[in-house]
């Protein structure tokens, strides 16, 4: 049981990173469905750099950078050229699956030293809670800090106010003198960098290796998490941990003697995502109150 919770925190981290980034993107009024592709590019870039330089720090930076560059492609096509955002995001995912496969072809089957675990002397080992909560690698805490930072930025700073304003009504934001497209570029690239970090976590720490399509739908689950969290940062954190617990079922279910074929346990995260979407979406007040009103709608300044 102790191990279950320890692993749950690890499994939640890539989801949390990708979802908190997409939350910022969506709050600015942009729907980027390319999270899966950005995560894959982050994963393969992080692995390639960490493997060839021996530095996991550089790997993490490369992962974030790759996600950011992917998001930049999205920005040019969907924000500057006003293309359909859903279609552009899908193209980003298709491109990311192909490009990561190409970059990663030399790294399949290569092992990597997993990201170092931190340890707090005495506390990490003394109690069960200490063993579960402490002694993770640095990115687990970075992800939580990032969520806290996003919550602070969105609700306590002028920049956050501008971002939310642009997402809720881009015409008014423009009339107030905000640079709508500029804000959306930044928010989308932040989202891309976070997705890249999430991917980097997968290939550097969660399973320290590269395999084609290793994200296995986590990018899409992150998108669903944002809806599930009704676009609130702290609910994204809670949602990510909840989902990670469900994901863990497939690894622990058979140990616990659940009389179910492994394939059905592997379905669990996806079925849980659908159920979560249904539960949240059926309450129109819950989604309408927080959903950015301009999400997915292109903006072009008339004057």
Partner 1 sequence: MILLDPRPQPSRALALLSPVIAIVLTLVAGGILMAAMGKDPVEALSIYFFQPFKEFWLWLTLPPGEAEMWLYTPSEVVVKAIPLALIGAGLAVCFRANVWNIGAAGQYTLGAITGGWIALSAPDGASGIWLVPYLAAGALGGMAWAAIPALLRVRFNANEILVSLMLTYVAAQLLDWLVRGPFKDPAGFGFPESKEFQDGFIMPVLVGGTRLHLGAVLAIVAAVALWLMMTRTMKGFQVRVIGAAPRAGAFAGFSQDRTIWFALLLSGGLAGLAGAVEVSATVQQLQPQISAEYGFVAIIVAFLGRLNPIGALFGALILAVSYIGGENAQIMLKLPKAVTGIFQGMLLFFLLACDTLIHYRIRLAAPGRA
Judged by the rule CB under 8 A, the positions of this chain that interact with partner 1 are: 33, 37, 73, 76-78, 80-84, 86-88, 90-92, 94-102, 105, 212, 216-217, 220-221, 223-224, 227, 261, 263-264, 266-267, 270-271, 273-274, 277-278, 281-282, 284, 287, 300-301, 303
Rounded-to-integer distance, Cα 170 and Cα 177, Å: 11
Rounded-to-integer distance, Cα 134 and Cα 146, Å: 18
- For the chain, how many residues are written? 303
Minimum Å gap between C-beta 210 and partner 1 is 12
* Contact between residue 108 and residue 51 where contact means Cβ atoms under 8 Å apart: no
Minimum Å gap between C-beta 278 and partner 1 is 5
Minimum Å gap between C-beta 247 and partner 1 is 12
Minimum Å gap between C-beta 11 and partner 1 is 16
Rounded-to-integer distance, Cα 195 and Cα 21, Å: 6
* Contact between residue 268 and residue 290 where contact means Cβ atoms under 8 Å apart: no
* Contact between residue 151 and residue 213 where contact means Cβ atoms under 8 Å apart: no
C-alpha distance from residue 246 to each of 250, 271, 280 (Å): 8, 10, 17
- C-alpha 227 chain-centroid distance: 13
Best CA proximity match to 147, nearest among 11, 241, 265? 241
Tokens 């500057």 belong to which residue?
80
The DSSP annotation for 281-300 comes to HT-HHHHHHHS-TTTT----
Question: Which is nearer to partner 1, 77 or 147 (by Cβ)?
Answer: 77
- C-alpha 20 chain-centroid distance: 6
Question: Which is nearer to partner 1, 1 or 284 (by Cβ)?
Answer: 284
Q: Which two tokens stand for residue 37?
A: 């592709």
Q: Which two tokens stand for residue 147?
A: 């969520």
Question: Which is nearer to partner 1, 175 or 278 (by Cβ)?
Answer: 278
Minimum Å gap between C-beta 173 and partner 1 is 17
Question: Which is nearer to partner 1, 69 or 99 (by Cβ)?
Answer: 99
Minimum Å gap between C-beta 227 and partner 1 is 6
Minimum Å gap between C-beta 211 and partner 1 is 13
∠ CA(214), CA(199), CA(201), 5° rounding?
Answer: 105
Minimum Å gap between C-beta 301 and partner 1 is 8
C-alpha distance from residue 143 to each of 75, 76, 124, 136, 232 (Å): 24, 28, 19, 12, 15
């Amino acid at each position: 049981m102790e191990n279950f919770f320890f692993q749950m925190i690890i499994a939640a981290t890539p989801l949390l990173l990708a979802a908190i980034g997409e939350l910022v993107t969506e709050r600015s009024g942009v729907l980027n469905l390319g999270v899966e592709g950005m995560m894959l590019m982050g994963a393969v870039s992080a692995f390639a750099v960490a493997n060839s330089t021996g530095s996991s720090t550089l790997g993490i930076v490369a992962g974030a950078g790759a996600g950011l560059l992917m998001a930049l492609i999205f920005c040019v096509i969907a924000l500057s050229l006003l293309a359909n955002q859903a279609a552009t995001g899908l193209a980003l995912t298709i491109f990311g699956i192909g490009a990561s496969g190409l970059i990663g072809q030399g790294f399949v089957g290569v092992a990597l030293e997993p990201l170092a675990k931190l340890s707090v002397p005495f506390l990490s080992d003394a109690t069960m809670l200490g063993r579960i909560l402490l002694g993770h690698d640095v990115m687990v805490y970075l992800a939580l800090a990032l969520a806290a930072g996003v919550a602070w930025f969105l609700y306590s700073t002028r920049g956050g106010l501008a971002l939310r304003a642009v997402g809720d009504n881009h015409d008014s934001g423009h009339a107030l003198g905000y640079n709508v497209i500029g804000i959306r570029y930044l928010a989308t690239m932040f989202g891309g960098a976070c997705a890249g970090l999430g991917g980097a976590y997968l290939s550097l720490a969660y399973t320290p290796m590269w395999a084609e399509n290793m994200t296995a739908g986590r990018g899409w689950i992150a998108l669903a998490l944002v809806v599930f969290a009704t676009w609130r940062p702290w609910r994204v954190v809670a949602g990510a941990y909840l989902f990670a617990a469900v994901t863990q079922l497939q690894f622990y279910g058979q140990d616990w003697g659940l009389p179910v074929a492994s394939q059905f346990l592997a379905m669990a995260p996806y079925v849980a995502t659908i159920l979560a979407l249904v539960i949240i979406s059926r309450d129109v007040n819950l989604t309408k109150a927080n959903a950015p009103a301009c999400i997915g709608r292109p903006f072009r300044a008339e004057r």
